Amino acid sequence: MQNSDPIWSHVEDHRDDLVGLADRVWGMPELLYAEYRSCAEHAAMLRDKGFAVTEEVAGIPTAVMGEAGSGGPVIAILGEYDALPGLSQVAGIAEPRPDTVGGAGHGCGHNLLGSAALLAACALKDWLAATGTPGRVRYYGCPAEEGGAAKAFMVRDGAFDGVDAAITWHPATMTKVDEAESLANTRMDFTFTGRASHAAAAPHLGRSALDAAELMAVGVNYLREHVPQESRIHYAYLDAGGTAPNVVQARTKVRYAIRSTTLAGMLALNERVKKIANGAAMMTETQVDISIMSAVSNMLGNTPLEEAMQAAMDDLGGVDFDEADRAYAAEIQKTLNAEDIAACYKANGLKVRTDEALCDYVVPMANRGAKMMGSTDVADVSWKVPLVQARVSTVAIGTPAHSWQITAQGKSPAAHKGMTYAAKIMGAVARRLMTDADLLARARRDHADRLAADPYVCPIPDDVRPPLQPRPFAAE
């Protein structure tokens, strides 16, 4: 690993503080829109490091922004800190053992994501002050990436107005420039209302909301044959109508996730699913209320920024893991199957190997493998401003997303090395954007060209608000 970029020594200056932040957030896993403690930790760190802090960004209590510098371009570095339900896990072991049975856990590494982004912002702040370079760095602490679409609400409500470019990263099994591919996604709730009745004595008087929900599921299953291959539709019952089979269920609620490779394709598919819901209500003589819980766009790439990030990775080299890191990762791999590990290589266009536990190299940007796409609200920021995202190795090769294995590895020395590496890459790209006017101009042109070919339509209607959660503890 080289250390030639002037920003990297500033990263090392703040490393220990931000590793501590990552570990504290790991220990207080909080779900979407309830990240009060995690957000407070980030806000406190921003103040301690001398940033001007704005709380409740876009009216969201668990969103925070810190800014430093003056004049010049405004570069945003995006962080997250939300956890996932049911993924509580004891750290540093290689077997499933919940720390709190049924509790939440950082099974996607967002404790590292937010801390590394803030680490990069701290380094940029110091470099700007030391060199007198015009420019402003903003750290955005963004909640609710896991299904809550906070960034989409933030974009819609103007939180990224005035930003020239944005940079982020995600913990991963391999180190590479993100391929900027994701699925647009709507989470839509369908509430059916019927009429209760005695299911044996007077079934003819009842109108079953559960029947409506099940007929909707049948209709959507038939629809799957007639949608683009990459589209996805899946669902979960939020309220199945009760536990008494001798009562005709008067109310059910089901949530559908509707995904497509394009924003336009998703919006069209939404309408087809709505028609099926209305048909199910008509067949059962029930009523259906349809509401959007959240929605995100598909990711928009930016070639100049991706090339700049690749250059930074090539300069820095891979993450500098040691033998102890590899030994623990090998123990984690024993809990995986061969298919998990092979899929990781194939997704990155690499030959499958069985002799390495951690990725200590940079995957070339030209490598393209089997597509395995999810959804992220980072995508909506990519439609607002030029954006680039890194993937950085923090876990064993083959580790599946949203798993107890990720939670277990979330405080490991390897994870800390990966988050430090990510901060250096983001810092290097941000520094170039502040000193290389041509790079920023080319990134803007690339972004404008993509928007001209496919104009942005916010996937969340103006009257839909974030599903904010009550504060779980008394204000201090």
How many angstroms separate the Cα of 215 from the Cα of each of 22, 45, 286, 338, 407?
46, 51, 12, 38, 38
Query: In this structure, is residue 461 part of a structural domain?
Result: no
Q: Are residues 178 and 188 in the same domain?
A: no
Which CATH number characterizes residue 234's domain? 3.30.70.360
How many angstroms separate the Cα of 233 from the Cα of each of 184, 272, 306, 332, 467?
12, 12, 31, 32, 22
Query: In this structure, is residue 210 part of a structural domain?
Result: yes
pLDDT for 476: 46
460: Cβ contacts below 8 Å, ≥ 6 apart = 149, 152, 153, 156, 292, 294, 295
**Tens digit of each residue's pLDDT (9 = 90 or more) over 353-364:** 999 999 999 999
pLDDT for 368: 84
**Tens digit of each residue's pLDDT (9 = 90 or more) over 363-386:** 999 998 878 789 999 999 999 999
Q: Are residues 106 and 125 in the same domain?
A: yes
pLDDT for 1: 47
Query: In this structure, is residue 476 part of a structural domain?
Result: no
Q: Are residues 112 and 21 in the same domain?
A: yes
Using an 8 Å Cβ cutoff, are 396 and 405 in contact?
yes
Q: Are residues 414 and 277 in the same domain?
A: no
Q: Are residues 359 and 439 in the same domain?
A: yes
Using an 8 Å Cβ cutoff, are 12 and 120 in contact?
no
Query: In this structure, is residue 14 part of a structural domain?
Result: yes
**Tens digit of each residue's pLDDT (9 = 90 or more) over 2-21:** 557 899 999 999 999 999 99
Domain endpoint, select from 269, 294, 319? 294
Query: In this structure, is residue 462 part of a structural domain?
Result: no
pLDDT for 4: 76
Q: Are residues 309 and 270 in the same domain?
A: no
**Tens digit of each residue's pLDDT (9 = 90 or more) over 19-44:** 999 999 999 999 999 999 999 999 99
Look over the chain and give the mean of its residue pLDDT values, rounded to a whole number.
96
**Tens digit of each residue's pLDDT (9 = 90 or more) over 259-284:** 999 999 999 999 999 999 999 999 99
pLDDT for 3: 55
Q: Are residues 305 and 444 in the same domain?
A: yes
pLDDT for 2: 52
Query: In this structure, is residue 148 part of a structural domain?
Result: yes
Query: Which residue range forms the structural domain that includes residue 214?
Result: 184-294
Which CATH number characterizes residue 418's domain? 3.40.630.10
Query: How many domains is the chain built from?
Result: 2
Q: Are residues 353 and 392 in the same domain?
A: yes
Which stretches of the chain drop beneath a pLDDT of 70?
1-3, 473-476
Q: Are residues 356 and 395 in the same domain?
A: yes
Query: In this structure, is residue 417 part of a structural domain?
Result: yes
Q: Are residues 47 and 178 in the same domain?
A: yes
Q: Are residues 194 and 331 in the same domain?
A: no
Q: Are residues 89 and 168 in the same domain?
A: yes
Task: Quote the CA–CA distance of 415 and 172 in Å, as a whole number.
Answer: 10
Domain endpoint, select from 250, 279, 294? 294
Domain endpoint, select from 263, 294, 325? 294
386: Cβ contacts below 8 Å, ≥ 6 apart = 164, 165, 166, 302, 304, 305, 443, 444, 446, 447
Bridge-based pairing of strands 74-80 and 52-55 is unpaired
